[in-house]
Structure 1
Amino acid sequence: MYLKCLKLRQFRNYRDCLVNFEAPKTILVGNNAQGKSNLLEAVELLSTLKSHRSGRDREMVLEDASMGQIQALLERAYGSVELGLTLRSQGRRTVALNRESLRRQLDFLGILNAVQFSSLDLDLVRGSPERRRNWLDSILTQLEPIYAYILQQYNQVLRQRNALLKTIRKQEEERTPEGVISKQPQTELALWDAQLATAGSRVTRRRARVLQRLAPLAQSWHSSISGKTELLEVTYAPNVNLEKDDPEAVQQAFLDKLHHRRFPEQRQGITLVGPHRDDVEFTINQTPARSYGSQGQQRTLVLALKLAELKLIEEVVGEPPLLLLDDVLAELDPNRQNQLLDAIQDRFQTLITTTHLGAFDAQWLNSSQILSVQAGQIHTLA
């Protein structure tokens, strides 16, 4: 797939901007806070309908404007596709495909596939489990758009169940020695248990399957980048044991653990069982990567994960996704830069942000379109 052009209106610091992409690699150069990352964020939104930088649409709309728009022309193997996303300071966002409004945002997902790599991705190694869960969910959403709906269903059940647990805890706290607690919340809790187990098992099983495919790809890339001196292992650590990929078996494991954790959950007023407590573990030479030492080794790990993402999406979708590199090349030494360059070549359209061109060797510069970004304005340099 190839992103031919991107138009931004009242998005972030762009009042009205049109960018035509004329080379497999585009370098966006400029000082900090000029809008380079905003452009990559726009592509990310078209890909996943999410931004890793903001959770609120009003923060992405130009100040004093009521709405912002992102439009793109994408070339796929089956033909050209027009994408449109309208964000509002107040009210719901809307999406359009080939200028036709879509009732379901789910139908917008999976059309533009992209892998983003930024300095924030080091949090994949040393950050919280939530960061790793979000990373895994983002991959799944691109490979299997229905997963966004499955995850939404699970989170709705989780919120309802947490609200009920808080009610039960409050009843327990207010009960006098002679008081009798109502059985109704306990009956209702059993119903939410069943729904949590059903929705949660769908999330858990899909996460396990995608990581099973991603792990060997990452291991191979990591071995290559490290000169075969380090062995990477990527392991799914589900909150509920996953002995086999069987819906009934996983649901029963959920229910068994919910029964086992019943009293701690009611005492704390929160759900302690489910994929919202999953993690992904990285080990290098059998040592947890979080405590493995240098940032260089952690960067190698994250680079291997991102290259594995590219390969997996290409295998599943049948077309190479876009690669978004947000101010990350300066943090890679020449060896890792060359590994990245060799991996992507001209096969993956790549958008790269940087504050200076000195971080690039002649190979990068000669094969790239170079754009200058200043205060929401974009000009061609080469």
Structure 2
Amino acid sequence: MYLKTLNLRQFRNYQDQKVEFTAAKTILVGNNAQGKSNLLEAVELLATLRSHRMTRDRDLVQEGEAIAQINATLERQTGISDLTLTLRRNGRRSVALNGESIRRQMDFLGVLNAVQFSSLDLELVRGGPEGRRNWLDTLLIQLEPVYAHILQQYNHVLRQRNAFLKSHVEMLDATSLHSELAVWDAQLATTGTRVIRRRDRAIQRLAPIASAWHASISGSTEVLQIKYVPNIPLEDSRPEEVQQAFLAKIQLRAIAEMHQGTTLVGPHRDEVELTINQTPARQYGSQGQQRTLVLALKLAELQLIEEVVEEPPLLLLDDVLAELDLSRQNQLLDAIQDRFQTLITTTHLGSFDSQWLKSSQILFVKAGEIIQQ
């Protein structure tokens, strides 16, 4: 797939900026806080309807404006698509494909595929489980767009159940509380099981690919293992078995949930374990080794999405080359070649060899304006 044009209106610090991409690799050069990352974020939003930097649409709309719009033209083997995402300061976002409004947003997902790799991704190893869950969910949305709907359903039930627990935390009549909670328990187990099974399947597919990349980058001196550790014991992945295990664990934690007024059981408490040579990666070795792990994960994402959608996704490299030493930079750049359309942000061109610069489109970014070299 190839991103031909991107038009940003009132998005972040861009007033009205159109970019035409003319090479497989585009390097965006500029000082910090000029808008380089904002452009990559716009592409990420078109691919996943998520931003790893912001949770509220209002933060993406330019100050003093009511709406922001991202428009792109994408070429795929099946033809050319025109994508539009409209973000509102006060109101719901909307999406359109080839000029037609789309009611269900999950029908917009899967048109553009992209893998984002930023310096923030180094927190995947060092940070808490929530970051790893978000990373896995964002990958899953691209592999299976229906997953966005499944996750939304689960989160909706979780919020409702938490609100119920919170409002009844002082309740003395435990019997009637249990009978009302049973309705939420059943819904939580049904929606949660769908999340768990898909996460488990995705990690099973991703883990061997990531391990192979990791062995290649580390010169086979280290063994990477990725393990999905659901909050529910997963001895059998059949839906009815997972649901039974889910409900049994809810029963076990019932008293604690009543006291704390929150849901303690479910995929919102899952973990993705990353180990190197059987040692937890966050405790293992240097920052360099942790960066090798994240690089292997990102290359595995690219490969897995390409296998599933049968076209190479876009690669968005946000200020990440400066975080990698020369050897890891070369591993990454060699893996990319011209196979993936790549957008790279950097503060200077010193990290690139002359061949790369010759074959790349170079754009300079300053205060929300883009200038072709």
Q: TM-score range by the shorter chain?
A: over 0.9
Q: What is the number of equivalent residue pairs in this alignment?
A: 373
Tell me the SS of whatever aligns to 1:273. coil
Whether 2:49 is the aligned partner of 1:42: answer: no
2:215 aligns with 223
Which residue of 253, 271, 274 corresponds with 1:261? 253
Whether 2:236 is the aligned partner of 1:244: answer: yes
2:25 aligns with 25
Tell me the SS of whatever aligns to 1:34. coil
**How far did residue 63 of structure 1 move?**
1.3
Whether 2:5 is the aligned partner of 1:13: answer: no
Alpha-carbon distance in 2 for matches of 1:196, 1:130: 19
Describe the superposition over 1:137-171 as per-residue Cα deviations: whole angstroms up to 9, x where unpaired.
Answer: 00000111110110111111111111222233222
1:329 aligns with 321
Output the amino acid matched with 2:153.
Q
Which residue of 358, 366, 370 corresponds with 1:374? 366
Whether 2:311 is the aligned partner of 1:319: answer: yes
Whether 2:116 is the aligned partner of 1:105: answer: no
2:276 aligns with 284
Alpha-carbon distance in 1 for matches of 2:163, 2:62: 36
Q: Which runs of 5+ in 2 are unaligned?
A: none
**How far did residue 344 of structure 1 move?**
1.1
**How far did residue 371 of structure 1 move?**
0.4
Whether 2:193 is the aligned partner of 1:201: answer: yes
Identical aligned residues as a percent: 71
Output the amino acid matched with 2:353.
D
Tell me the SS of whatever aligns to 2:62. coil
Output the amino acid matched with 1:278.
D
Q: How does 1:114-263 map to 2 (within 5 A)?
A: 114-172=114-172, 181=173, 183-263=175-255
**How far did residue 186 of structure 1 move?**
1.6
Describe the superposition over 1:8-66 as per-residue Cα deviations: whole angstroms up to 9, x where unpaired.
Answer: 11111111111000000000000011000000000000001111111111111111111
Farther-moved stretch of structure 1 (300-309 vs 88-97): 88-97
Alpha-carbon distance in 2 for matches of 1:122, 1:287: 18
**How far did residue 244 of structure 1 move?**
2.1
Q: Contact 1:164 / 1:185 at 8 angstroms: preserved in 2?
A: no
**How far did residue 352 of structure 1 move?**
0.1
Describe the superposition over 1:250-287 as per-residue Cα deviations: whole angstroms up to 9, x where unpaired.
Answer: 00000111111111111111111000000101111111
1:297 aligns with 289
Q: Contact 1:201 / 1:247 at 8 angstroms: preserved in 2?
A: yes
Alpha-carbon distance in 2 for matches of 1:264, 1:53: 34
Alpha-carbon distance in 1 for matches of 2:331, 2:266: 38
State the TM-score, normalizing by the size of structure 2: 0.98
Alpha-carbon distance in 2 for matches of 1:354, 1:227: 28
Output the amino acid matched with 1:183.
T
Alpha-carbon distance in 1 for matches of 2:270, 2:125: 15
Describe the superposition over 1:74-96 as per-residue Cα deviations: whole angstroms up to 9, x where unpaired.
Answer: 00110000000111111111110
1:358 aligns with 350
**How far did residue 182 of structure 1 move?**
6.1
Alpha-carbon distance in 2 for matches of 1:182, 1:263: 10
Alpha-carbon distance in 2 for matches of 1:377, 1:168: 54
